[in-house]
Amino acid sequence: MNTTTEDTDDRARRSIGARRNPASQEAILDAAEAVLEESGIGGFSIEAVARRARAGKPTIYRWWPNRTLLMLDVYRRFKNARGFPDTGSVRGDLIALLQNHLLGFWKDSLCGTVYRAIIVEAQNDPDAAKALYAYQEERKKATEVIIERAKARGEVAKDVDGRLIIDMVVSFAWHQLLINRLDEAMGSIEGVVDGVLMGCAGYKR
Amino acid sequence: MNTTTEDTDDRARRSIGARRNPASQEAILDAAEAVLEESGIGGFSIEAVARRARAGKPTIYRWWPNRTLLMLDVYRRFKNARGFPDTGSVRGDLIALLQNHLLGFWKDSLCGTVYRAIIVEAQNDPDAAKALYAYQEERKKATEVIIERAKARGEVAKDVDGRLIIDMVVSFAWHQLLINRLDEAMGSIEGVVDGVLMGCAGYKR
């Protein structure tokens, strides 16, 4: 696009047009978030978001082909606002990951319900699945830095498979979300992290 | 009931009645399995099973209030037929659990698709959720014997939390099922099991 940033911002303020630009995208996401907060998953539709954002439905559909993809972007924005844990130790980071970014994050906000709904949709809708897998890949890659930092600090061996560690922690959280045991799981966080880091006490092969 | 077993079996052979008894229950499950195999999840309904079993729909509904509960019993029967791994070592048992009872079991049969559908239904239907949680509880409890045997053999310390170990292994499998990575996950089985047993190589707290 040949417009300057100022031009783009100015146009977005006047109306939410057909072009996906940061300002209008945020306005749609704001509206989507408000609809989710007020009406829950059941009342969440592209139509309701369009009404709230005073945007045309076709505009929203052009950017988010279905409501699940829009929900995922709302979820992603919440998640990104939390950043990534950096406590100075791998144990602290993994505990913070489960406490503030996975189990606790889902438990204490609408985000748990939203993420559950996204996972469900991904089982039936190939577009939702593709978007969820891409999001998972992006998050896991970013979270692997926890293990990279642990290697740099000499807390774990250089050849530890960081992706597998993150996958195990994320898997535990997903499972608890989907069997509705977030509350109980909060009490198992240290056990899981110590399990991943230290294995079974007294294990002799 | 005052009827003898022979009476019951005989009546079940003549018609599938309103009473839930082992013989007629198996006949319904046989029919449900056949419908799943022939028509897949999409074609699976209480109506189709009733037609196949030559039973009345109300009879089936009396025993299985919805199609998800019926699917879960079909799934459970497949799963129970596999028994539980007992290879002589905790490492061997956990590898066999992932290979033959979770990831591999789902990958190589209709059971993966069926279980996915059950998990999805459980997110929206409280009856399905209750049945799935009860099934999970029953399976995890039975699977914990792997860790009990390991303790008895002196492979792990007596105070190891067996439920947590099983939960971590099952969680990993669920996650891979739901992000459609069963094939790739088959290659991570030893890594996951060694992770759970031995933790991160070189970990220094």
Q: Does B171 touch chain A (CB under 8 A)?
A: yes
Distance CA A106, CA A114 (A): 9
Look at B196 and A199 and tell me if their CB atoms are within 8 Å. yes
**pLDDT > 70 fraction of chain A, expressed in percent and rounded:** 89
Which residue, among B114, B161, B169, B179, would best test binding to A if mutated, counting the most A CBs under 10 Å from its CB?
B179
Distance CA A203, CA B155 (A): 5
| Whether residue A93 sits in one domain with residue A54 | no
DSSP state of B204: -
Residue B188 placed within a domain: yes
Please return the burial class of B172, using the count of CB atoms within 10 Å of its CB with bins 0-12, 13-18 and 19+.
buried
Look at A196 and B198 and tell me if their CB atoms are within 8 Å. no
Reported as a single tens digit per residue, the pLDDT across B18-58 is 556 766 899 999 999 999 999 999 999 999 999 999 999 99
Distance CA A4, CA A6 (A): 5
Contacts of B32 (CB under 8 A, 6+ apart): B44, B49, B52, B53, B70, B71, B73, B74
Please identify, among A64, A89, A114, the residue that sits at the C-terminal boundary of a domain: A64
Helix runs in chain A, H state only: 5-14, 22-39, 46-53, 57-63, 67-81, 90-96, 103-107, 111-124, 126-143, 145-152, 162-178, 182-186, 189-198
| Whether residue A116 sits in one domain with residue A80 | yes
Number of structural domains in chain A: 2
| Whether residue B88 sits in one domain with residue B167 | yes
pLDDT, position B19: 55
Reported as a single tens digit per residue, the pLDDT across B113-164 is 999 999 999 999 999 999 999 999 999 999 999 999 999 999 999 999 999 9
Which residue, among B106, B133, B159, B167, would best test binding to A if mutated, counting the most A CBs under 10 Å from its CB?
B167
Look at A160 and B201 and tell me if their CB atoms are within 8 Å. yes
Residue B32 placed within a domain: yes
Q: Which two tokens stand for residue B95?
A: 């590898």
Residue A70 placed within a domain: no
Interface of B with A in 69-98 (CB under 8 A): 89-91
A70 touches A49 (CB < 8 A)? yes
Q: Does A107 touch chain B (CB under 8 A)?
A: no
| Whether residue A125 sits in one domain with residue A91 | yes
pLDDT at B3 over 50: no
CA distance B173 to chain A (A): 8
pLDDT at B204 over 60: yes
| Whether residue A90 sits in one domain with residue A46 | no
* Domain CATH for A139: 1.10.357.10
Distance CA B168, CA B97 (A): 12
Residue A204 placed within a domain: no
Q: Which two tokens stand for residue B177?
A: 């099922």
| Whether residue B127 sits in one domain with residue B45 | no
Distance CA B14, CA A185 (A): 50
Distance CA A81, CA B43 (A): 43
Could you report the predicted ipTM of this complex, rounded to two decimals? Answer: 0.88
B58 touches B131 (CB < 8 A)? no
User: Would you place residue B7 in the very low, low, confident or very high pLDDT band (cuts 50, 70, 90)?
Assistant: very low
Distance CA B184, CA B172 (A): 12
| Chain A residues inside the 8 Å CB shell of B117 | 123
Reported as a single tens digit per residue, the pLDDT across A69-99 is 999 999 999 999 999 999 999 999 999 999 9
pLDDT, position B11: 43
Q: Count Cβ–Cβ pairs < 8 Å, chain A vs chain B.
A: 146
State the residue range of the domain holding A54. Answer: 5-64
| Whether residue B148 sits in one domain with residue B88 | yes
Closest to A59 measured CA to CA, from A32, A30, A28: A28
User: Would you place residue A20 in the very low, low, confident or very high pLDDT band (cuts 50, 70, 90)?
Assistant: low
Residue B70 placed within a domain: no
Distance CA A49, CA A74 (A): 12
Look at A164 and B198 and tell me if their CB atoms are within 8 Å. no
Q: Does A161 touch chain B (CB under 8 A)?
A: yes
Please identify, among A64, A83, A108, the residue that sits at the C-terminal boundary of a domain: A64
DSSP state of A41: G
User: Would you place residue B9 in the very low, low, confident or very high pLDDT band (cuts 50, 70, 90)?
Assistant: very low
Interface of A with B in 26-65 (CB under 8 A): none
User: Would you place residue B13 in the very low, low, confident or very high pLDDT band (cuts 50, 70, 90)?
Assistant: very low
**C-alpha angle with apex B53: B49 to B55, nearest 5 degrees?**
95
Look at A116 and B123 and tell me if their CB atoms are within 8 Å. yes
Look at A154 and B192 and tell me if their CB atoms are within 8 Å. no
Residue that is written with structure tokens 């995890």 in the block: B140
Which residue, among A41, A171, A186, would best test binding to B if mutated, counting the most B CBs under 10 Å from its CB?
A171
Interface of B with A in 186-205 (CB under 8 A): 188, 191-192, 195-205
| Whether residue A97 sits in one domain with residue A57 | no
Task: Determine the average pLDDT of the residues in B177-203.
Answer: 97
**pLDDT > 70 fraction of chain B, expressed in percent and rounded:** 89
Q: Does A142 touch chain B (CB under 8 A)?
A: no
Residue B120 placed within a domain: yes
Q: Does A171 touch chain B (CB under 8 A)?
A: yes
| Whether residue B57 sits in one domain with residue B122 | no
The SS3 assignment for B1 reads coil
Please identify, among B64, B84, B103, the residue that sits at the C-terminal boundary of a domain: B64
pLDDT, position B205: 81
| Whether residue A142 sits in one domain with residue A49 | no
* Domain CATH for B15: 1.10.10.60
Residue B2 placed within a domain: no
pLDDT, position A205: 81
Residue A205 placed within a domain: no
Quote the mean pLDDT of chain A. Answer: 90
| Whether residue B186 sits in one domain with residue B107 | yes
| Whether residue B83 sits in one domain with residue B22 | no
Torsion, CA B44, CA B50, CA B51, CA B57, rounded to 10: -110
pLDDT at A6 over 80: no
Distance CA A134, CA B181 (A): 13
